[in-house]
């Protein structure tokens, strides 16, 4: 059994190495073939693993591959934990990755870095699999950082663009702020449980819950809250939760396929996955759960609003991703881990679809991403249009789509939580349904309907993308449309994650919902009457009115609420603050410490100063060496006197 898992992980790695190092030798076709073969192998085997576990009842697997190191009695291993949670993640990751691989053939066709790109996305697949399949914190952190590095390399893929280089560095550094917390969390885990293996750590969860962490001699914090919040800071970086969200919109500088794969479907959900994986720890700290809940809900609502004013089609989807990640995070905070993972899965499908479809639009538009220069693309890009529509409907939670089941259940679950902040979260998430529909259909109408605002040259060359681009769209549109019907019952109410995810009885909102669940059809009928669906419909209507029917209304609103509009366009000022206060401050601090600390104080006063002192001393010595006997005699007497006095004083 273990060799299957090894193959799943290693196939993309080997492919990445072949395409990366041997890229010139095997050529473009060779690189695309070998990487697609690698990831297809992973997908097929992952699907097999999932099938065996779900349908054949195969037990979960927890075993090590090799010992990374042993230090001071602590064994750190590279190993796999394959249960329903990781198996589901593996399928989602490899499926989206496979789609993106195929899509890339069309999207990157004319790019000189073709082989390099394939190598990177295969390397990413390997890293992400290492992350989700880990059975210990060390390997989790390895995968965590490895996906971060590939993300860094891919955002900066077009390395001659200064904006791309800036964005890639920004992404890495903001993630590192999260990792700073993550590492402290891991250190706390080791301190309190003596191990980094999940199974041992979870077995010690109660001990951590009982412990206090001494912050100062007089202040002590609950160890479990400290640990969980530190781990969650890591998740905030990777899953782009406020205030560590700032890197994700800029990451759109990367090629569109990786926006779909990394910055929508998989890597950014690593934080969600991680918290779900750590449920045995988070369940023990209401403080941490409340924090997660409030931060998630805030991100969900306020980042969604930014999507309404963005004009770059990829940025709208990026803000949408932030917002949806906020939904998932809020669900984690409400202990509805299964609901978060369910939404993670449906979101992976429909958001990857939206990004890839947007990429198809971008190819057709000759790499124009500004929606103000689009419009009326429906008749030129029929397949893209219909798949984009399916993705949009899923995103806004239109009844029946995959996103509807996951999001509606999610909002319901959060609404049932009794943790501090649950009321605020419910308001944010419910209102977010309106905002989601508004920005989604604003984008949809601006892109595909209305007047054609592109220049003449572009319009003449508009045509549907090749099949390698549209096939993945269709293959992603299918699960985006229907997967919710089949999966809501097992994932949310069927104990699918039993053993992988633990929920305390007092927190079990999904358990409460289960008693009212009578199949997806009844769920659908029940939800149609609910507020989120009506808000979504209202959002679509508003988008239609403001951005298609009467665009002047949008302009009027912009003038009327100018202050609000400015705040949104400035993205609440996070970027300004980070660049002008944090980054500039760090550079200025570094320069100041260098000049005043190193050069003036240490070198100027102490080093060169002592050199000068030696010089002064020797000049004194020179004058003392006068050659006059009485000077020497006087000095000798003086010295003898001091010596005697010193001896007297000592005794």
Partner 1 sequence: MFSGHLLSVLIWLPILGGFAVLAVGNDSPSTARWASLLVSIATFAASVPLYTEFDPHTAAMQFVERAAWIPSVNAHFALGIDGIAMPLILLTTFTTVLVVIAGWGSVHKRVAQYFGAFLILEGAMIGVFCALDALLFYVFWEVMLIPMFIIIGVWGGPRRVYATIKFFLYTFLGSLLMLVALIYLHLKSGSYDLGDFQRLPLSLTAQTMIFLAFFAAFAVKVPMWPVHTWLPDAHVEAPTGGSVILAAIMLKMGGYGFLRLSLPIAPDASRELSWLIIALSLIAVVYIGFVALAQKDMKKLIAYSSIAHMGFVTLGAFVGYKIFAHTGSQTGIGMALDGSMVQMISHGLISGALFLCVGVMYDRVHSRDIDAYGGVVNTMPIFASFMVLFALANAGLPGTSGFVGEFLVILASFKGNVWYAFFAAVTLILGAAYTLWLVKRVIFGPIANDKVAALKDVDGREFLVLGLLAVAVLLVGLWPAPLLDAMHASTQHLTQQLLVSKLVP
Q: Give the shortest CB-580-to-partner 1 separation in angstroms.
A: 16
Phi, psi angles (nearest 5°) of residue 83: -130, -170
Angle, alpha carbons 125-131-136 (nearest 5°): 155
Determine if 65 is a binding residue for partner 1 (CB under 8 A): no
**531-547 b/e (C-beta count within 10 Å ≥ 16 → b):** ebbebbbebbebbbebb
Nearer to partner 1, 522 or 593 (CB): 593
Distance CA 513, CA 489 (A): 11
Q: Which of 109, 191, 461, 506 binds partner 1 (CB under 8 A)?
A: 191
Of the pair 216, 651, the CB lying nearest partner 1 is at: 216
- Site for partner 1 contains 179 (CB under 8 A): yes
159 binds partner 1 (CB under 8 A): yes
Q: Taking contact as CB under 8 A, which single stretch among the options 38-46, 321-329, 484-492, 603-611 is the one that binds partner 1?
A: 603-611
Site track 568-587 with partner 1 (rule: CB under 8 A), x = hit: ------------------xx
Least distance (Å) between residue 233 CB and partner 1: 11
> Rounded to the nearest whole angstrom, what is the least distance from the CB of residue 180 to partner 1 in the complex?
5
Spell out, one character per residue from 123 to 142, where the chain touches partner 1: x when CB under 8 A holds, - when not. Answer: ---------------x--xx
Q: Give yes or no for a contact between 46 and 8, defined as CB atoms under 8 angstroms apart.
A: yes
Q: Which is nearer to partner 1, 124 or 444 (CB)?
A: 124
The span from the CA of 402 to the CA of 345, in Å, is 9
Which is nearer to partner 1, 96 or 235 (by Cβ)? 235
Q: Is position 194 an interface residue for partner 1 (rule: CB under 8 A)?
A: yes
Could you give the CA distance from residue 573 to residue 611 in angstroms, rounded to a whole number? 50
Beta carbon nearer to partner 1, 122 or 321 = 122
**Beta carbon of residue 315, minimum distance to partner 1 (angstroms, whole number):** 22
Among residues 28, 33, 60, 176, the one that binds partner 1 under rule CB under 8 A: 176
3-state secondary structure of 77: strand
Smaller CB separation from partner 1, 580 or 626: 580
Q: How far is the CB of 166 from partner 1 (least distance, A)?
A: 7
Longest Cα–Cα distance of the chain, Å, equals 115
Binding of partner 1 by 638 (CB under 8 A): no
What is the spatial distance between Cα 207 and Cα 277, in angstroms, rounded to a whole number? 19
Q: Which of 48, 68, 458, 466 binds partner 1 (CB under 8 A)?
A: 68
Comparing C-alpha atoms, which of 289, 452, 270 is closest to residue 377?
A: 452
* CA-to-CA dists, residue 422 to 298, 395, 409, 445, angstroms: 12, 23, 15, 34
Q: Is 416 left (phi over 0), alpha (psi -120 to 50) or beta?
A: alpha
Closer Cβ to partner 1, 225 or 480, answer by number: 225
How is residue 138 written in tokens? 């060390």
DSSP 8-state code for residue 269? G
Number of shown-chain residues binding partner 1 (CB under 8 A) = 57
Closer Cβ to partner 1, 570 or 586, answer by number: 586
Interactions with partner 1, residue window 608-637 (CB under 8 A): 611
Q: State the nearest-atom distance from the C-beta of 120 to partner 1, in Å.
A: 12
Asked if 597 is part of the footprint of partner 1 (rule: CB under 8 A), the reply reads yes
Q: Judged by CB, which is closer to partner 1: 70, or 512?
A: 70
Contacts of partner 1 in 363-402 (CB under 8 A): none
Tell me the backbone φ, ψ of residue 370, rounded to 5 degrees: -80, 120
Helix axes 114-133 and 270-277, enclosed angle (nearest 10) = 10
Among 427, 522, 556, 607, binds partner 1 (CB under 8 A): 607
**What residues between 516 and 555 interact with partner 1 by CB under 8 A?**
none
Q: Which is nearer to partner 1, 184 or 482 (CB)?
A: 184
Among 56, 72, 451, 460, binds partner 1 (CB under 8 A): 72
Spatial CA neighbour of 409 closest among 512, 534, 561:
512
Cα dist from 555 to 209, 547, 561, whole Å: 54, 9, 10
Provide the minimum distance between the beta carbon of 154 and partner 1 in the complex, in angstroms, as a whole number: 13
Nearer to partner 1, 521 or 615 (CB): 615
CA pair distance 249, 230, nearest whole angstrom: 24
Among 2, 51, 67, 498, binds partner 1 (CB under 8 A): 67
List, in sequence order, the alpha helices (H) in 55-136: 84-107, 114-133
Left, alpha or beta for 335 (phi > 0: left; psi -120 to 50: alpha)?
left
Pair of tokens at residue 588 = 């200025």
Counted residue by residue, the chain has a size of 651
b/e burial code for range 126-159 (CB count within 10 A of at least 16 → b): bbbbbbbbbbbbbbbbbbbbbbbebbbbbbbbbe
Provide the token pair at 133.
């399949």
DSSP character at residue 376: -
Q: Among residues 183 and 474, whose Cβ is nearest to partner 1?
A: 183
User: Of 159 and 634, which CB lies nearer to partner 1 in the complex structure?
Assistant: 159
Q: Is 594 in the site for partner 1 (CB under 8 A)?
A: yes
Q: By CB under 8 A, is residue 602 in contact with partner 1?
A: yes
Q: Is 145 in the site for partner 1 (CB under 8 A)?
A: yes
- Footprint of partner 1 (CB under 8 A): 66-74, 138, 141-142, 144-146, 149, 152-153, 156, 159-160, 162, 165-166, 168-169, 172-173, 176-177, 179-180, 183-184, 186-188, 190-191, 194, 213-215, 586-587, 589-591, 593-594, 597-598, 602-603, 606-607, 611
């Amino acid at each position: 059994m273990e060799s299957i898992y090894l193959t799943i992980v290693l196939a993309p790695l080997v492919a990445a190495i072949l395409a990366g190092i041997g890229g010139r030798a095997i050529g473009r076709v060779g690189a695309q073939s070998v990487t697609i073969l690698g990831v297809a192998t992973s997908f097929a085997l992952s699907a097999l693993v999932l099938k065996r576990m779900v349908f054949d009842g195969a037990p979960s697997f927890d075993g090590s591959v090799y010992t990374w190191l042993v230090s001071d009695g602590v064994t750190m291993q590279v190993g796999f934990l394959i249960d329903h949670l990781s198996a589901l993640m593996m399928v989602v990751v490899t499926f989206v990755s496979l789609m993106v691989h195929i899509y890339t053939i069309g999207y990157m066709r004319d790019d000189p870095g073709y082989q390099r790109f394939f190598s990177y996305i295969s390397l990413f697949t390997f890293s992400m699999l290492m992350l989700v399949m880990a059975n210990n914190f060390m390997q989790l952190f390895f995968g965590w950082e490895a996906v971060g590095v590939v993300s860094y390399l891919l955002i900066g893929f077009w390395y001659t663009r200064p904006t791309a280089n800036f964005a890639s560095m920004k992404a890495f550094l903001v993630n590192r702020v999260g990792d700073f917390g993550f590492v402290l969390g891991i250190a706390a885990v080791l301190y309190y449980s003596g191990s980094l293996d999940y199974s041992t750590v979870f077995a010690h969860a109660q001990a951590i819950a009982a412990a206090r962490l001494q912050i100062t001699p007089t202040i002590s914090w609950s160890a479990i809250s400290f640990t969980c919040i530190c781990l969650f800071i890591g998740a905030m970086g990777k899953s782009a939760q406020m205030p560590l969200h700032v890197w994700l919109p800029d990451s759109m500088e990367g090629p569109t396929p990786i926006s779909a794969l990394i910055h929508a479907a998989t890597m950014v959900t690593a934080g969600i996955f991680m918290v779900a994986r750590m449920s045995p720890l988070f369940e023990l700290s209401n403080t941490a759960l409340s924090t997660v809940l409030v931060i998630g809900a805030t991100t969900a609502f306020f980042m969604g609003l930014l999507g309404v004013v963005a004009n770059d089609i990829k940025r709208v989807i990026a803000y949408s991703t932030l917002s949806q990640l906020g939904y998932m995070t809020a669900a984690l905070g409400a202990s509805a881990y299964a609901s978060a993972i369910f939404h993670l899965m449906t979101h992976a499908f429909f958001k990857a679809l939206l990004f890839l479809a947007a990429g198809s639009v971008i190819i057709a538009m000759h790499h124009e991403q500004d929606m103000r220069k689009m419009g009326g693309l429906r008749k030129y890009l029929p397949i893209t249009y219909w798949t984009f529509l399916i993705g949009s409907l899923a995103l806004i939670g239109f009844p029946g789509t995959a996103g509807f089941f996951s999001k509606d259940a999610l909002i319901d679950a959060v609404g049932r939580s009794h943790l501090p902040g649950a009321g605020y979260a419910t308001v944010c998430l419910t209102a977010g349904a309106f905002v989601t529909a508004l920005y989604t259909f604003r984008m949809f109408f601006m892109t595909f309907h209305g007047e054609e605002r592109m220049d003449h040259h572009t319009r003449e060359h508009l045509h549907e993308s090749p099949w390698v681009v549209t096939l993945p769209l269709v293959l992603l549109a299918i699960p985006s449309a229907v997967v919710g019907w089949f999966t809501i019952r097992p994932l949310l109410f069927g104990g699918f994650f039993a053993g992988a995810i633990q929920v305390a009885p007092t927190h079990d909102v999904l358990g409460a919902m289960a008693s009212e669940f009578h199949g997806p059809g009844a769920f659908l009928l029940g939800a149609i009457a609910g507020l989120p669906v009506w808000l979504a419909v209202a959002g679509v209507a508003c988008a239609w009115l403001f951005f298609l029917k009467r665009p002047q209304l949008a302009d009027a609103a912009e003038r009327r609420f100018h202050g609000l509009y400015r705040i949104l366009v400035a993205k609440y000022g996070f970027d300004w603050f980070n660049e002008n206060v944090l980054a500039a401050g760090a550079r200025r601090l570094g320069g100041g410490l260098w000049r005043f600390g190193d050069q003036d104080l240490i070198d100027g006063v102490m080093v060169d100063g002592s050199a000068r002192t030696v010089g002064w001393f020797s000049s004194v010595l020179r004058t003392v060496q006068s050659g006059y006997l009485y000077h020497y005699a006087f000095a000798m007497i003086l010295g003898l006197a001091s010596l005697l006095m010193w001896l007297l004083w000592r005794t």
